[in-house]
Amino acid sequence: MRGTVVPIFSETVTTLNLRIRTSSLQDTKNLSQAAELFAREIDRTLHFSGIPQTRLQLTILRPDEHTPDADSDLCFPFDSSSIEISYGLIRKMILRRTRENFSGSGADIPSADWLAAAICNRVFYDGKGIRTFYSPDFRVARSQFMNGHFPRIDRLLAQPLAPADDPLFRLYLLHCDLLASALENQPEANVFLQKLFELERYGRSTVESFEFLLRPNWSAAETLQSWYEKKVLAESGRGWQLNEADNTLSELQELLNIPVLEAGGRTAVKRLPLEKIPKLLEDYKLNALALNLMQNRILLLAKNAPLLLRPPLQQFSKALASLQAGKNSRFRKEFRKARKEFDAAMKRQNRIAELLQQSDSNRTPLLDPFEPYLRIAEKYRNLRNELSNIPWK
C-alpha cells in the first residue's frame, strides 16, 4: 500500500542500560543478544561490573530514512554491515565504561579504538561467549610473523582503520586482539589499562602511555617495537589447536569430577571422579535433570572439540545414559573404556600440536583458515607491497 510506514521495533536491555531500535524485529533481537556478549567481554577485559549509569540508544534507520536520529547515541544507515554496527557499538560501550569509572564525562580515550577492535575480533569473528570454550585463532598473524612481517605498533595504536567489511579491517581486528592478549599476560595486567586510561585522560598519546608504563621492565636496548614483536610472536602460538585439546580436557574434568561434602576434612567440599563414588551413583540415577544437563554439555563439548577427541567424548555420553537407566555395572565398564580412549586420543592430539609447532619453527606456513576470503598464506607478499601505505602496516 502506498504511503505505508515501516514500523520501528525497539528493545531495552536493562542490564546494559541500552535501547536498540531497528525496522526489523529479528535485527533488534539479534543486536540485543550480541550486545550482551560484547558487554560481557568488555567488562572482563576492563575489570568492570554492574549496570552502567549512562543510557545508550542505538538506531538503525529505515530503508527510506537518511537523516540521523537526533535522540540516538549511535545511528547507522539501513544498509550498514554487521561488522560496522558491532564495532561502533563496542567502541561506544567501552567509552561509556571508561568515562564512568576512570576519566569523567567527555574525556578522550584513544585506546577505545584498538580495544574495540580486539573485542570485536574475539566476539564477532571468533565467537567468544557462544562456544563452550574459547580458543583464539592467530594462525594468519603467526604466518606473517614467521616470515618476519610485523605491523608497526605505533601505527596500530594511533591510526585505526575505519570499520569496513573487507580483509584489511579483518587483519586490523586480528592484530589488535593479539596485542590485547599479550597485554593480559603482563604483570599487573588488571591495572595496566586503568593506568593507560588515566595517562590518556591527561593528554598523553597512546604510544607515549605504552612506553611510559612498559619501559621500567625493558632492557637498555629494548624499544616499544621490539617489545611488541617479542610478545605477539609468543602469544600467536597459544591459540587454535595448540590449546584446543587442553581446553577440552579441562572442561571434561570439570564435568566428571563431582563436588561432594567431606565429613571431618579440612575443607567442606572436594571433587571426586564420578566413577569412584559408588555411594553417589544412586543419587545421580534419580537426578535425571543433572544427568541430562551433563550429557548435553558433553555432547556440546564434543561438537566443538578437535576431531580426534569427539568419539571418546560421545562414549562418555553413552556411559551416562547407562547410569541414568540404572545399569551401574555397564556404566562403569563404558566409563572406563571412554576414559582409556580419551587418554589415547589426547596423546595423539598433543603429538599433532608438537608437529604444528615444529612446522612453525621451520617457517612452513599453516593452512589458511580464510581460504576464499583472505588468501594470506599464498599472497601476503603481494598484499604487503600493494598496501604499503596502510596506516598500521
The CA–CA distances, whole Å, from 324 to 33, 79, 98, 329 equal 34, 51, 50, 12
The CA–CA distances, whole Å, from 27 to 14, 64, 117, 252, 312 equal 18, 17, 22, 35, 39
The number of distinct structural domains making up the chain is 2
CA-nearest of 196, 197, 17, 188 to 102 is: 197
Is position 208 within any domain?
yes
C-alpha cell at 273: 571422579
Is position 97 within any domain?
yes
Residue corresponding to grid cell 574434568: 253
Q: So what's the pLDDT on residue 377?
A: 38
Shared-domain flag, residues 100 and 19: yes
**Phi/psi of residue 87, nearest 5 degrees:** -65, -45
Shared-domain flag, residues 228 and 306: no
* Alpha carbon distance 173, 160 (integer Å): 10
Q: So what's the pLDDT on residue 167?
A: 84
Shared-domain flag, residues 265 and 204: no
Is position 368 within any domain?
no
Reported confidence tier of residue 70, pLDDT bands at 50, 70, 90: confident
Q: Which of 209, 239, 269 is the last residue of a domain?
A: 239
Shared-domain flag, residues 63 and 211: yes
Q: How many CB atoms lie within 10 A of CB 202?
A: 9
CB 111 within 8 A of CB 95: no
User: Across residues 174-186, what is the average pLDDT?
Assistant: 92
Q: Which residues pair with 74 in a beta bridge?
A: 58
- Expressed as residue numbers, the domain containing 69 is 9-239
Shared-domain flag, residues 61 and 176: yes
Q: So what's the pLDDT on residue 332?
A: 84
Shared-domain flag, residues 254 and 234: no
Reported confidence tier of residue 383, pLDDT bands at 50, 70, 90: low
Is position 369 within any domain?
no
CATH number for 199: 1.10.390
pLDDT, tens digit (0-9, with 9 covering 90-100), for 263-293: 554 544 556 666 665 455 555 445 666 677 7
Q: So what's the pLDDT on residue 308?
A: 79
DSSP letters, 157-207, are HHSPPPP-SSHHHHHHHHHHHHHHHHHHTSTTHHHHHHHHHHHHHTT--HH
Which regions of the chain does DSSP assign to beta strands (E)? 9-13, 18-22, 56-60, 74-76, 257-261, 269-273
Shared-domain flag, residues 322 and 354: yes
Question: pLDDT over 90 for what percent of the chain?
Answer: 32
Shared-domain flag, residues 214 and 231: yes
pLDDT, tens digit (0-9, with 9 covering 90-100), for 321-361: 887 777 878 888 888 898 888 888 888 877 776 665 565 44
C-alpha cell at 267: 575443607
Is position 272 within any domain?
yes
pTM check: above 0.75: no
pLDDT, tens digit (0-9, with 9 covering 90-100), for 78-111: 989 999 999 999 999 999 999 888 756 667 889 9
